[in-house]
Chain A
């Protein structure tokens, strides 16, 4: 058995209340060191030693991710939390203690940064053009067909360029309200399940007291703008838990 590290917090007095326990139902424990508490559970050594072998095993990965996220969320409901990357494992609890000691300042910085704040996601999609010149009817001649196709291709390019400009403006407006902002690469359609192209995939760390203001702002931007906006959250601040930043 080795020790799987889910999250690090401060002033945690008891293990988070997660009905299903940790990965593979493992019992959650707290490892206390240097004023920090690490939420851990024992996991099967072999399963995590050869992670490469599991890379294609989506069912297994999904199971681990679900359990990981469940624990991090449970901690995050009541405390500031620094979530660890998926599949962070150490040989034993002593190694975890050593990490807490060595990286104490960095964990403290992350916890300070996320305390009282939530992560929110704002995604923007190109709004489907109202039947993009397709309704023009059947072209009357070959030359007319070529002209129509040329226009359609151009309009498509122009629409995406305009949407990208607007995404920048939305990002700037939301970032102004947020404590920190980060832009992730836009997701592919196979991930989003939407046929419209994504032009903004932003993550924002927002003071909990500014939640209503954020909702209003996104509503306003969505009403006045020409891209479709999607606000998601509050999330555990995964995007802002990087120890380096």
Chain B
């Protein structure tokens, strides 16, 4: 009888973890950029009080720092956090 382990697929746990992290970070980065653009638009339209503007800006700035740290920690670059959607182009703008 053949050894059943021969048919087992070798899973590289680290690679799986890294890929999952990459996907999670990609989605967070997409949301972060959307929120940032939304915030900028609201500032331009004078929809925010000074305090709101300050709070929103601080939150986005901290989130941006956290993203930089996390991507670095997992050995990723900003370019890695971009899915190629084929004819639709990249998910995120190429330059942040």
Contacts and interface: CB of A to CB of B under 8 A. Distances in A.
A229 to B, nearest CB: 21
Given A142-B61, A153-B40, 6 more contacts: A142-B54, A146-B40, A146-B57, A146-B60, A150-B40, A150-B43
Contact of A145 (B57, B84, B95): B57
B48 to A, nearest CB: 9
4 closest A-B pairs by CB: A142-B57, A142-B58, A146-B57, A145-B61
Given A149-B40, A150-B43, A150-B44, A143 B94 contact: no
Candidate in A149, A150, A195 with the most chain B CB atoms within 10 angstroms: A149
A189 B94 contact: yes
Nearest to B40: A150
Interface in B36-76: 36-37, 39-40, 43-44, 50, 53-61
B43 A146 contact: yes
A35 interface: no
Contacts of A150: 40, 43-44
A92 B84 CA distance: 43
A189 B92 CA distance: 14
Nearest to B55: A142
Contacts of A197: 94
A139 interface: yes
Contact of B50 (A139, A143, A147, A149): A143
Interface residues of B, number: 20
B44 to A, nearest CB: 7
Interface of A: 139, 141-147, 149-150, 153, 156, 189-190, 195, 197
A17 B40 CA distance: 64
Nearest to B61: A145
A142 B94 contact: no
A141 B43 CA distance: 15
A143 B84 contact: no
A148 B55 CA distance: 15
Nearest to B95: A156
B36 A143 contact: no
A141 B40 contact: no
A142 B64 CA distance: 12
A189 B50 CA distance: 40
A146 B53 contact: yes
Nearest to A132: B95
A146 B53 CA distance: 8
A65 B95 CA distance: 34
Nearest to B89: A188
A142 B51 CA distance: 10
A145 B61 CA distance: 7
Contacts of A153: 37, 40
A159 B37 CA distance: 19
Nearest to B84: A190
A150 B38 CA distance: 11
Contacts of A142: 53-61
Contacts of B40: 146, 149-150, 153
A189 B58 CA distance: 33
A145 B58 contact: yes
